[in-house]
Amino acid sequence: MLWQIDERLCWNRSEAIIRHFDDAHVQRRTNSISEIAFGETHHIYQSSSLQHWFKNWQEQRKYKLTASTFAGAIGLWPRRRVQLWLEKIGYLHPFTGNMATCWNNIKEEEALERYKLITGNSVGFPEFQVYRDTDPEYDWLAASPDGTVEQVVYELSSRGVLEIKCPYFDGNMKKARPWTRIPLHYIPQAQGLLEILDRDWMDFYVWTPNGSSLFRVDRDEEYWNLLKVALSDFWWNHVHPAREECLKRVITDPLYELREFRPAARHELSVDIVYESKRLVDEAKLMVREIHGKIQD
C-alpha cells in the first residue's frame, strides 16, 4: 500500500504544479483571441535592434513545432495550447516578442562571452535544425539552438548543446539573481533540443547582471519517448487535420468550425510529463553559480 500512497502523493503534487503554471502565467493572458494574438506584441519589439543576434528563422519556424513551444503544446500553460494550435493552423500571427524576449536577445551575446570565460569552451552556431528532415513522420519537429559544444574527455568525444537564458525579472534588475534550480517548464525544451540535435548533454546557462549559474542536463531517452507521444498527438490529431480543413474551405471561426480538432487545455500525459520533468530538474547538476564574480558554495 505504501507505493500506492506515494504514487497518489506524486500525482497530486504534479497536478498542483500544473495549476501553479496556470495561475502564475496564464492569468496574464486573456480569453479574447484578438488580445491573445496581439496583446503582448508591439511593433517596437520587432525592431531589428531587439532581434536575436544570429537567429533569423521566423519563416522556418512558422510551420514547425519548435522545442521552445513543447511545454505549451503539452499544456503546461493550458490556454497556451489552444493559442499555439491557432498559430500553427495559420489563424493567429505567431508570437514575435515582448520585453522579456527582447531583453534575452540583446543580452545573449554578453552571456555567451561570460559562459566561454567560465568554461573555456568554444561554441559553434548551427543552423535551424529539423528533426529527421527526410522523414515526414517527424520533420514537423524542429529546434533553434543557441550553440553547440564539443569536448574531449579521456580521449572520448563528448557532444553538448548550449541553452542560454537571461531572465527579465519584470525589469527589476536589483532582484536579479541566477537560479539555483532549472524551472520545470524548460525541461521539455531541453530534452527536445538534445534529441533533435542528437547531443549527449546540455549546458543550461543562466545569466543576470549580478551573476550567473550553469547547469548540466543529461539526455534522457525515456523522457523523450513520453514527450514525443504528447507532441505527436498535438500535431497529427489537432494541427494537421485542422490545417487540411483550412485548405479546403474558408474558416472564419476556428474555435467553433474546427472544434472537433481543437485540443484540450492539457494533454492526458501532462501530469506524467510534469512528474518526469521534476525528476530531471532534481538530477540536473549545478556546475557553477557566481554572484558578482564570486563563486557560491
Task: Determine whether 4 is exposed, middle or buried from the number of CB atoms within 10 Å of its CB (0-12, 13-18, 19+).
Answer: exposed
Angle at CA of residue 230, ends 188 and 251, nearest 5°: 110
pLDDT over threshold 70, residue 277: yes
Q: How confident is the model at residue 149 (pLDDT cuts 50, 70, 90)?
A: very high
Alpha-carbon span 204 to 30, nearest angstrom: 31
pLDDT over threshold 70, residue 154: no
pLDDT over threshold 60, residue 28: no
Q: Where are the domains of the chain?
A: 2-295
Average pLDDT over residues 218-246: 98
Q: Which of 22-36, 106-120, 195-209 has the lowest mean pLDDT?
A: 22-36
CB 65 within 8 A of CB 129: no
Q: How confident is the model at residue 132 (pLDDT cuts 50, 70, 90)?
A: confident
Alpha-carbon span 295 to 297, nearest angstrom: 7
- The string of DSSP codes covering 84-120 is HHHHHTTSSPPP---HHHHHHHHHHHHHHHHHHHHH-
Report the pLDDT value the prediction gives residue 44, as an integer from 0 to 100: 54
Q: How confident is the model at residue 153 (pLDDT cuts 50, 70, 90)?
A: low
Average pLDDT over residues 174-184: 94
Alpha-carbon span 103 to 106, nearest angstrom: 5
CB 289 within 8 A of CB 296: yes
Three-class SS of residue 65?
A: strand
Alpha-carbon span 188 to 45, nearest angstrom: 26
| Phi, psi of 157, rounded to the nearest 5 degrees | -70, 140
Q: Which residue has the higher pLDDT, 123 or 19?
A: 123
Classify domain 2-295 by CATH architecture.
Answer: Alpha-Beta Complex (3.90)
Percent of the chain with pLDDT over 70: 79
Buried b (16+ CB within 10 A) or exposed e, 130-158: bbeeeeeebebbbbbbbbbbebeeeeeee
Average pLDDT over residues 260-272: 97
Q: Which residue has the higher pLDDT, 193 or 49?
A: 193
Report the pLDDT value the prediction gives residue 262, as an integer from 0 to 100: 98
Place of cell 555567451: 112
Alpha-carbon span 196 to 11, nearest angstrom: 29
- CA 88 from chain centre, in angstroms, equals 16
Alpha-carbon span 198 to 122, nearest angstrom: 19
Average pLDDT over residues 285-295: 95
Report the pLDDT value the prediction gives residue 148, as an integer from 0 to 100: 97
What residue type is 222 in one-letter code?
E
Three-class SS of residue 78?
A: helix
pLDDT over threshold 70, residue 10: no
- Angle 2-25/78-88 helices, nearest 10 degrees? 60
pLDDT over threshold 70, residue 27: no
Report the pLDDT value the prediction gives residue 155, as an integer from 0 to 100: 61
Average pLDDT over residues 168-179: 90
